[in-house]
Amino acid sequence: MSVTGGMKCVKYLVFFFNFIFWLCGLALIVVGIMVQVSLNKTLKITDPTASAAPIILIGVGVVIFFISFFGCCGAFKENHCMVTTFAVLLSLIVIVEIAAAIVGYVFRNKLSTIVHDSVTDMIAKYEKSTPEFKETVDNLQHNLKCCGVNGSSDWKNFTSKENSVPDSCCKNVTKGCGIETMTDSDKVYQQGCSAAMETFLKNNILWVIVAAVVIAILQLLGIVFACCLIKGIRDGYEVM
């Protein structure tokens, strides 16, 4: 027996919310992959825990992607078992997301240490590294408009010529522009990359938090509507 009246509306709301979840899951997968690729290209992180965030994003995205597809089928077919399973799984996802948020808040102060250690390691390995690695460091300094770990003076042993830095530290990059210009603030960036990277990450984390809150609200609404649909389907069976 099909649901009727108000439950018909709830059915389509569940279907609609599941479609939104499906898109959110896909978005999380894409964002997680982009963050992971970005970290590998711009920052050679030595602490494996730094990759936890993008991996969690990808994992949650995959789970939501399949759960939402399951929920769409259940709502469309008005299958009590499938809708119930969807509601339970979505509730578990919300619990996991809350736990992840708490863990992220607890370890938020570790961000500075991870970034500082990673940038320090990159600068130390610069001279004896591969061209690809040097390009990564150069891109980091050029894109974030920074130089060294804490400042341009971190490159004091860069070459035999004193007071020199890599050309990527220059505000206007040209061949040899970093030679003997370490302390020249008109030509070379003086801010360290550790502080610049930390600021960049914190600014972008804000958008991640906003997106997470919006998705969580949608998920809670989805659970409520799913429970209403479950009741409507069960009542339909009892009438039969």
CA 61 to chain centre: 11
- Which residue type is seen at 83? V
Q: Report which of 81, 54, 64 is spatially closest to residue 21, judged by C-alpha positions.
A: 64
H or E element in which residue 168 lies = none
Q: Which residues of the chain have pLDDT under 50?
A: 1, 46-47, 237-240
Cα distances from 152 to residues 143, 144, 165, 180, 209, in angstroms, run 15, 13, 7, 11, 33
Residue 199 belongs to some domain of the structure: no
The reply to whether 123 and 187 lie within a common domain is yes
The reply to whether 52 and 66 lie within a common domain is yes
Q: Would you tell me how many other CB atoms lie within 10 Å of the CB of residue 125? A: 14
Residue 101 belongs to some domain of the structure: yes
The reply to whether 10 and 83 lie within a common domain is yes
Residue 24 belongs to some domain of the structure: yes
The reply to whether 132 and 179 lie within a common domain is yes
- Which residue type is seen at 16? F
Domain count, the chain: 2
Q: Report which of 23, 1, 9 is spatially closest to residue 218, judged by C-alpha positions.
A: 23
CATH number of the domain that residue 154 is part of: 1.10.1450.10
The reply to whether 43 and 77 lie within a common domain is yes
The reply to whether 33 and 141 lie within a common domain is no
Calpha distance 11→91 (Å, rounded): 18
pLDDT, position 99: 75
The reply to whether 92 and 13 lie within a common domain is yes
Residue 1 belongs to some domain of the structure: no
pLDDT, position 117: 82
pLDDT, position 1: 45
The reply to whether 150 and 65 lie within a common domain is no
The reply to whether 174 and 224 lie within a common domain is no
Q: Under 8 Å CB-to-CB from 212, ≥6 apart: which residues?
A: 97, 101
Rounded to the nearest 10°, the torsion over CA 211, 214, 220, 225 is -120
- Token code pair at residue 111: 């961000």
β-sheet bridge partners, residue 14? none
Residue 128's domain spans which residues? Answer: 112-194
Q: What are phi and psi of 188, to 5 degrees?
A: -125, 140
Q: Under 8 Å CB-to-CB from 138, ≥6 apart: which residues?
A: 166, 167, 168
The reply to whether 60 and 29 lie within a common domain is yes
Residue 234 belongs to some domain of the structure: yes
Q: Do 134 and 164 touch, CB atoms closer than 8 A? A: no
The reply to whether 100 and 16 lie within a common domain is yes
The reply to whether 88 and 141 lie within a common domain is no
pTM listed for this prediction: 0.57
